[in-house]
Amino acid sequence: MESNTVSRQQAVGEVRNMAFQFADMYYAFVKVLRDRYGDEEALDIARRVLFMRAKERAEKMIVKAGEEGVERTPENIHDMSDVSYLGWDPSFGVDTCPYGAAWNRRIKDDPEFRKFACLYCDVTDTTIAEVFTGECSHRLYKNVVLGDESCERTYFPSEEVKNGVITYDPDRE
């Protein structure tokens, strides 16, 4: 009889490989934007795209939280997320985050990409926090693409968010 189970190590590897592919797609997307429009316009376009997608994701998380009776707090973001965190394996040390690992490889050859890697994390995680909770914002105070050993974040109450002002909303400009 054939077994359809995979080892945890294989599952982690598969999730990480998928994340590496996504991270490389983001790099390619940004590279085309930078080559065509320059860094400033590329930053604006990437920020808008990241905001749109993060907002969509957070809205789905809100529905899921409602269905499961889960409170919309920063502590529950991870559990409501659509990210397969199985691939974020701490045994990889500084490369725990597969996006960070892939982007750091790209940054070695293309140091200007660093600001786009940081942008991804900041816009995505901040928007998800703000939309999902409706009252808290988010800040990364350590980031592996900035040379830190890990990514560390904090969530904090925000009067602006409570009043419906979302940090990266392009319509607020």
Which of the four pLDDT bands, split at 50, 70 and 90, describes residue 2?
low
| 3 lies in some domain | no
Q: For residue 86, give every residue at least 6 positions away whose Cβ sits within 8 Å of its Cβ, in sequence order, or none.
A: 11, 12, 15
Q: What is the number of residues in the chain?
A: 173
| 119 lies in some domain | yes
pLDDT tens-digit series, residues 5-24:
989 999 999 999 999 999 99
**This prediction's pTM:** 0.93
Q: Is the pLDDT of residue 173 over 90?
A: no
Q: What is the pLDDT of residue 44?
A: 96
The helix or strand, by DSSP H or E, that contains position 51, with its residue range, turns out to be helix 39-68
Amino acid at 73: T
| 105 lies in some domain | yes
| 56 lies in some domain | yes
Instruction: Please give the residue range of the domain that contains residue 153.
Output: 9-172
Q: Mean per-residue pLDDT for 118-137?
A: 97
CA distance 81 to 16: 17
| 144 lies in some domain | yes
User: Which residues partner with 116 through β-bridges?
Assistant: none
| 27 lies in some domain | yes
CA distance 160 to 126: 13
**What percentage of residues in the chain have a pLDDT greater than 90?**
94
Q: What is the pLDDT of residue 4?
A: 83
| 1 lies in some domain | no
Q: Are strands 136-142 and 152-157 parallel, antiparallel or unpaired?
A: antiparallel
Q: What is the pLDDT of residue 3?
A: 72
- What value does the mean pLDDT of the chain take? 95
The number of distinct structural domains making up the chain is 1
| 4 lies in some domain | no
Q: Mean per-residue pLDDT for 86-105?
A: 94
Q: What is the pLDDT of residue 170?
A: 93
The helix or strand, by DSSP H or E, that contains position 98, with its residue range, turns out to be helix 98-109
Q: Mean per-residue pLDDT for 128-134?
A: 98
CA distance 70 to 136: 16
Q: What is the pLDDT of residue 1?
A: 57
Q: Mean per-residue pLDDT for 159-169?
A: 96
